[in-house]
Amino acid sequence: MLQTKLKEKMITVLFWLSALIIVGILIAVIGYIFVKGLAHVNLDFILEAPKRAGKEGGISTTIIGTLYLTAVSLFIAVPLGVATAIYLEEYARQKSRFAFIVNLTAETLAGIPSIIYGLFGFVFFVIFMNMGWSIISGGLTLAIMILPTITRTSQEAILSVPGEYRENSLALGASKWQTISKIIIPAAVPGILTGVILSIGRAIGETAAIILTAGSSLGMPLSLADPARTMSVHLYILAMEGLSMERAFGTAVLIVVLVIIINYLANLSLRRLSHSR
Amino acid sequence: MIENYVEDSKMMGRIFDGKESKKGAKNIRFNAEYMIEKLLMLCAGISILAIVLIALFILVRGVPLIAKTGLNDFLFNLKWDPTRGSFGIGTMFIGSLVVTLASMLWSVPLGLLTAVFMAEIAPPSVGNFMARMVELLAGIPSVVYGFFGLVVIVPLIREYLGGNGMSVLAGALILGIMILPTLINISRDAIIAVPREYKEGSLALGATHYQTIRRVIMPAARSGIITAIVLGMGRAIGETMAVVMVTGNSTIIPDGPLTPVRTMTSNIVLEMGYAAGDHQAALFATGTVLFIFIVVLNLIVNISAKAGSQNAAN
Amino acid sequence: MTNRIKIKSKDINLFYRDFQALYNINMDVEENRVTALIGPSGCGKSTFLRILNRLNELIEGTRIDGQVFMDDYAIYDKEINVVDLRKKVGMVFQKPSVFPMSIYENVAYGPKIHGIKDRRRLDEIVEKSLKAANLWQEVSDRLNSSAARLSGGQQQRLVIARVLAVEPQVILMDEPASALDPISTSKLEDLIAELKNNYTIVIVTHNMQQAARVSDYTGFFLNGKLVEFNRTDELFVNPRDKRTEDYITGRFG
Ligand SMILES: Nc1ncnc2c1ncn2[C@@H]1O[C@H](COP(=O)(O)OP(=O)(O)OP(=O)(O)O)[C@@H](O)[C@H]1O
Ligand SMILES: [Mg+2]
């Protein structure tokens, strides 16, 4: 009897310990990067362009590159993903083969590793479509990568819109598309937003696919046809080539800060969603 | 005011006075709706197009080289010397498997314990807190983990265990961290989905909470847990940036946890920048192997999950 | 005494896939009258109501036999545009479901959908409709606040205003009071009495007293069949069918 009790106690400790390890890992990673990197982050670091391959200067062009690429990918993926979700949830028959395949495709796309997307983007956009290493090649590649996330979160958002809205709108003489565009999509916006925020996080962190499709030029990207380097790619190159550990730490701090902000926003919009229901 | 309104509506007279439902008007509206539906369907079809294009372009570049060298030779030949025309990815094939399995060795038990903790043991506030932490863990990009490995794990290993630190062990530690969120989230969902009655039935029979977890909940959540492990494995095999920064990338067969190793993904990202001709084709061939492996893995999991949910619905 | 026939249902049979929910329904609904549909749960009242604005078509696998005429137009005819029909046959559902937008936008939704863009015209319609639904006084000072914050009874009247804004001729109500407290219910019944001067109303209700109070005609449904259809005062005092009598006395007694 006493033995069982002791055993149960030990198991409890084990469970709490494993949770503690998870939190410990997180604190270690974020904490270490902050402690070592915060000192190197200042306004100059953010606003100055990199010099001598990144050994000196700031990281302004990589921040612009990151923003540019993220914006392009969202611009393409959000309409496509939302449209896909609308089709699947509002038009496709429940057991249609097409819907089954699209759903399966979205899940498969979500599982493909970024390096494969990189290879594809390289042969297809960079070489075959002759777009070269550029914002547009990288943005299109990134768009395919985030498409499943946008599609799935939009699907969930649309599904959670009460069915009565549809009936009421149709009974007022609205057409199906009027109902979707005026009632359902506006009601689903918070959920869709969560997907968009998560996708931004993915776009900011993506590295392997970007190196192969957008290149790693440190210049200021001006047009869609220009190559660009993102903060993540910059971090990789600085660290791997040992160019400047200080700047690598500084870049890592900025990336982590962005990730934390995005995480917070995603949670906020999720929570607002569950409150409004 | 109200009177006026009524007049209005009276004046409209009968339900159909023949004005509004003329064929033309009806068809225009019908056509717009029809076109929208087709347009949306087209958008939905783009994911299918994307995956077909991905498969096509990677296979077209990769398969000829595999055919030339022979699948066996390509996969198991240990000599990777692309400039001399020797394209065996044996060391990297084994490298990917070794690092992946080693990472799962510690992350699977830790992930499962945490999942059970979150679903069954933790008070709700702690469970929610853990969920936030796991989300954050998932949100940190792989290059940051790789960087952390490079500046913390690798030096630690070099200092305390020997070697130069870039090693299977470093890769396994970092990769393990990276697949923890996948493991935890999917298995936690599976555990939560176990019907309450199972649990209550077992407790009613006098079983303790832990006995119930082990004998009732875990078996009932088994297929979800297996899904978590399989998908975690898929992620680990496909992960690139984190491993490339910490494993040293030598094309040798690792003979211990402290030897350096190169994975298939690292191989691609390291050499893609300058490869040309057959060398480049060999990198695409490496991608082909990865692609097929991961797509098959995902399809098995997704189709069996779909079949499972359909059975449950019936 | 009798008014013109507004809606005529002829030999309506309805199937949800293999399940037949309605059998040979024949019913004449008079203009500017309230017609109540009563009967036990699952007997097909809602199904019949939703036939009148063709809302059943939205459910996969529904099949309908027979004819429904409105003002002598066959509403299931291929030539009929459903949108036109639904514009003229409004519906109020059991659970008040306001759209997640302002009070004003809720009422203006229908007119906007049907092409009215002029702001002043919309303002007029919103005011008229809210007044007709006896809600204007309570909300005129907060038209732009969220409709979700109204009480259940106010929401139900808002839904009615939303229907009125489309200028229908027929209003279908499916248990409109079932989610309301007694005070809101009595307000709603007063409103129905007012509305019938200008609209033809068909209302489903579980509440026998309510049917007796508000309606001119009552139809009693049982297992998908219209057992008895008569003037309300007749049906409740002198039911011709034994089953009707059992049902109404069961509830009354
Ligand atoms: N979408 C549907 N698919 C299949 N059967 C349905 C569907 N809707 C209703 N039914 C069935 O048709 C019958 C009539 O349903 P209906 O909703 O018209 O009943 P009702 O008289 O309105 O009941 P209540 O008073 O409970 O609202 C019921 O047996 C119901 O189960
Ligand atoms: Mg009903």
Distance CA B294, CA B172 (A): 19
| Cβ of C23 less than 6 Å from ligand 1 | no
Per-residue pLDDT averaged across C170-188, rounded? 87
Question: Which of C13, C25, C43, when mutated, tests ligand 1's pocket best, judged by the most ligand atoms within 8 Å of its CB?
Answer: C43
Is the distance from the beta carbon of residue C19 to the nearest atom of ligand 1 less than 6 Å? yes
C126, HSE (Cβ side, Cα atoms, 13 Å):
22
Q: A204 to chain B nearest CA, in Å? A: 8
- C contact chains, 3+ CB pairs < 8 A: A, B
pLDDT of residue B310: 55
CA A204 from chain center: how many Å? 7
Cα C215 from Cα C177, distance rounded (Å): 14
Residues 6+ apart with CB under 8 A from C38: C45, C204, C205, C206, C208, C211, C218, C219, C220, C221, C247, C248
What is the token pair recorded at A188?
Answer: 């689903």
Angle at C221 between CA C217 and CA C222, to 5 degrees: 155
pLDDT at B6 over 60: no
Residues B80-313, CATH architecture: Orthogonal Bundle (1.10)
C-alpha of residue C120 to centroid of ligand 2, in Å:
38
Ligand 1: which atom is nearest the Cα of residue C59? 1
As a whole number, the mean pLDDT across chain C is 90
Residue A171 in domain: yes
Residue B201 confidence (pLDDT): 85
Closest to C110 (Cβ–Cβ): which among A166, A167, A173? A173
CB-CB under 8 Å, A79 with B40: no
Separation between Cα atoms, residue B179 and residue B198, nearest integer Å: 30
Query: Contact, A145 vs A118, CB < 8 A?
Result: no
- The pLDDT value recorded for residue B12 is 36
Buried b (16+ CB within 10 A) or exposed e, A26-41: beebbeebbebbeebb
Q: What is the mean pLDDT of residues C16-27?
A: 91
C-chain CB neighbours of B32 within 8 Å are none
Q: Region B153-168: what's the mean pLDDT?
A: 92
SS3 A115: helix
Q: Which two tokens stand for residue C132?
A: 């007709």
For A161, the token pair is 């819109």
User: Does residue A212 belong to any structural domain of this protein?
Assistant: yes
Q: How far apart are CA A141 and CA A210, in angstroms?
A: 8
Residue corresponding to tokens 């189709």: B303
Collect all residues of chain C within an 8 Å Cβ-Cβ radius of residue A178: 113
Q: Are C84 and C168 spatial neighbours (Cβ–Cβ below 8 Å)?
A: no
What integer pLDDT is reported at residue B1 of this predicted model? 31
Residue A50's pLDDT is 85
> How many whole angstroms separate alpha carbon B207 and alpha carbon C188?
56
Interatomic CA distance for residues C180 and C158, integer angstroms: 13
pLDDT, mean of residues B162-191: 94
Angle at the Cα of A240 from the Cα atoms of A239 and A243, rounded to 5 degrees: 60
- Helix, coil or strand: residue C173: strand
Query: What is the tally of structural domains in chain A?
Result: 1
Pairwise CA distance, residues B210 & C23, whole Å: 58
Answer yes or no: is pLDDT of B309 > 80: no
pTM for this prediction: 0.87
Alpha-carbon distance of B176 to C238, in angstroms, equals: 80
- Name the residue facing C71 among B8, B15, B26 (closest C-beta): B15
Above 50 in pLDDT, residue B10?
Answer: no
Residue B42 neighbours by CB under 8 Å, 6+ apart: none
Written as six digits, the tokens of C187 are: 């307000």
> Is B235 close to A113, i.e. CB distance below 8 A?
yes
Helix (H) or strand (E) holding B120: none
CB atoms inside a 10 Å sphere around CB B299: 14
What pLDDT score does B311 carry? 54
Q: Residue A176 is part of a domain; what is its CATH number?
A: 1.10.3720.10
Is residue B87's pLDDT more than 90?
A: no
ipTM of the predicted structure? 0.92
Residue B8 has pLDDT above 60, yes or no: no
Residue A41 to residues A250, B139, C95, Cα–Cα distance (Å): 5, 21, 56
Closest to A116 (Cα-Cα) out of C125, B288, C218: B288
- pLDDT score recorded for residue B88: 87
Beta strands of A56-204 (E only): which ranges?
Answer: 56-57
In a domain, A96, yes or no: yes
Burial (CB < 10 A; 0-12, 13-18, 19+), residue C17, is exposed
* pLDDT above 70: percentage of residues in chain C: 98
Domain ranges of chain C: 5-248
DSSP C221: E
Sheet containing C5-16: which strands, arranged edge to edge? C73-74, C62-70, C5-16, C19-30, C225-231, C217-222, C34-38, C200-204, C170-174, C89-92
Give the per-residue pLDDT at B280: 92
pLDDT digits (tens, 9 = 90+) for C98-144: 999 999 999 999 999 998 999 999 999 999 999 988 899 999 999 99
pLDDT reported for residue C252: 40
Domain segments of chain B as ranges: 2-69, 80-313
pLDDT in tens, B126-140: 999 999 999 999 999
Three-state DSSP at C30 gives strand
In words, the CATH class of domain C5-248 is alpha beta
Q: Tell me, what's the pLDDT at C83?
A: 86
In this prediction, residue B30 has a pLDDT band, given cuts at 50, 70 and 90, of: low
Q: Nearest by CB to B1, from C73, C80, C128: name it.
A: C128
- C28 forms beta bridges with C8
Q: Is A94 in CB contact (< 8 Å) with chain C?
A: yes
Q: Does C79 touch chain B (CB under 8 A)?
A: yes
pLDDT in tens, C57-86: 888 788 888 889 988 888 888 878 888 899
Which residues in chain A show pLDDT less than 50? 277
Cβ atoms of C186 and C213 closer than 8 Å: no
What percentage of chain B has pLDDT greater than the value 90?
Answer: 61
Question: End-to-end CA distance of chain B, in Å?
Answer: 56
- Residue A235 belongs to a domain: no
Query: Each residue of B252-289: pLDDT tens digit?
Result: 888 888 999 999 999 999 998 888 888 999 999 999 99
Residue A49 lies in a domain: no
For B116, counting Cβ atoms within 10 Å of its Cβ (0-12 exposed, 13-18 middle, 19+ buried), the class is buried
Rounded Cα gap, residues A134 and A228, in angstroms: 6
The rounded distance, in Å, linking the Cα atoms of C233 and C211 is 10
> Rounded mean pLDDT of C29-36?
92
Domain coverage including residue A113: 63-230
C201: which DSSP letter? E
Task: Report yes or no: C17 and A135 within 8 Å, Cβ to Cβ.
Answer: no
Q: Which pLDDT band, with edges at 50, 70 and 90, does B29 fall under?
A: low
C-beta of residue C216 within 8 angstroms of C-beta of residue C210: no
- Contacts with A113 (C-beta within 8 Å, 6 or more apart), sequence order: A208, B234, B235, B237, B238, B239, B240, B265, B290, B294
